[in-house]
Amino acid sequence: MQNTDLPNEGNKFQVWKLEITDKSKGFMELLQQLSVCDSVSDKQFEERFQELSAYGDDHIGCVIEDNHSGKIIATGSMFIEKKFLRNCGKVGHIEDVVVDAGSQGMQLGKKTVKFLTNHAHEMECYKVILDCGVGNKAFYEKCGFKEKEIQMARYFV
Amino acid sequence: MQNTDLPNEGNKFQVWKLEITDKSKGFMELLQQLSVCDSVSDKQFEERFQELSAYGDDHIGCVIEDNHSGKIIATGSMFIEKKFLRNCGKVGHIEDVVVDAGSQGMQLGKKTVKFLTNHAHEMECYKVILDCGVGNKAFYEKCGFKEKEIQMARYFV
């Protein structure tokens, strides 16, 4: 397992790689705070977990656990996109960052983004990108990001 | 190989899956019209092509070839992101769509986006997303997309 090393913040809230046991620690309930996320069976979860694990370092999910409650209180994920342009460059895509509503103000979001950004750097990506609502722009600017383009979406369901 | 079937447009400009031989047809030069893309050796190209092929249907690159010149005049790519939220849903990410500057006005971009969007639909994604400059917003609206969020980026190089 890997942890971040933000200075002066101690080890109270470490960032860990997502593990299959995190489902029983409220991982899916945390995602529900971000988006539509009905119940998923243990089997479905394990299958998706294994599919993602098969990508090796090209996909990473991370979590922060509250040691007192044993609940997952922050998460985020990243996949590494392999391109032909930029001399066969790679791009880190940050997805599904969410901090528990009752655990705000402890820099858990910042720790999560830093962990994922570091991973992209280690994977030799030339950039990291993410899409967010306008309301989260200031947060990501504090994480070193700048507004670049617009996101367009087409929903099938 | 797979082709689109836009009505009333004939088969002059079909969309095909990217093949390893497309490098010799100006594929990389076309990407240079979109972004920084210095020369890539045949070996580098083949390695990246094989890496992407290993993803199976979870990654697709497509091209349109000008039958007269034998050159690739449009391209785009998509990778399928597997999530836990949305009941272990999937999202299609469209990347690196470019139409040759000398081949505009023939709906090649629209055909390319339609091909990739269809792929996402077949893969049972719940949505397709992409990032673009404000100047391309109207084009993607014609393709059925709507502006949703903002893209934030952090460059390492």
The CATH number covering residue A137 comes to: 3.40.630.30
Is A92 a domain residue? yes
Residue A103, domain member (yes or no): yes
One digit per residue, the tens of pLDDT, for chain A of length 157 reads: 444 444 444 567 999 999 999 999 999 999 999 988 878 999 999 999 999 999 999 999 999 999 999 999 999 999 999 999 999 999 999 999 999 999 999 999 999 999 999 999 999 999 999 999 999 999 999 999 999 999 999 999 8
Domain that holds residue B138: 4-142
Residue A83 contacts by C-beta under 8 Å, 6 or more apart in sequence?
A89, A90, A91, B48, B77, B95, B96
Residue A44 is assigned to a structural domain of this protein: yes
Report yes or no on A76 lying in a domain.
yes
Catalogue the E-assigned strands of chain A. Answer: 15-17, 59-66, 71-82, 90-99, 127-132, 146-155
pLDDT value at position A6?
47
**Distance of CA B114 to CAs B2, B61, B107, B120, B143, Å?**
13, 13, 10, 10, 7
A156 falls within a domain = no
Domain assignment of residue A154, yes or no:
no
This prediction has a pTM of 0.92
Q: How many domains does chain B have?
A: 1
Q: Which of the residues A57, A151, A157 would you substitute to probe the B interface, choosing the one with the greatest number of B C-beta atoms within 10 Å?
A: A151
Whole-complex ipTM = 0.91
Cβ atoms B18, B63 nearer than 8 A: yes
| A155/B contact by beta carbon, under 8 A | yes
Q: Are B74 and A104 in contact (CB under 8 A)?
A: no
A123 — contact with chain B (CB < 8 Å)?
no
Q: pLDDT tens-digit profile of A113-138?
A: 999 999 999 999 999 999 999 999 99
In B, residues 30-69, which contact A (CB 8 Å cutoff)?
31-32, 34-38, 40, 44-45, 47-48, 51-52, 61
DSSP-derived 3-state class of residue B27? helix
Asked if B87 lies within 8 A of A37 by C-beta distance, the reply is yes
B143, B114 Cβ separation under 8 angstroms: yes
CB of B146 closer than 8 Å to CB of A142 = no
| Cβ-proximal residues to A88 (8 Å cutoff; 6+ apart), any chain | A82, B40, B44, B45, B47, B48
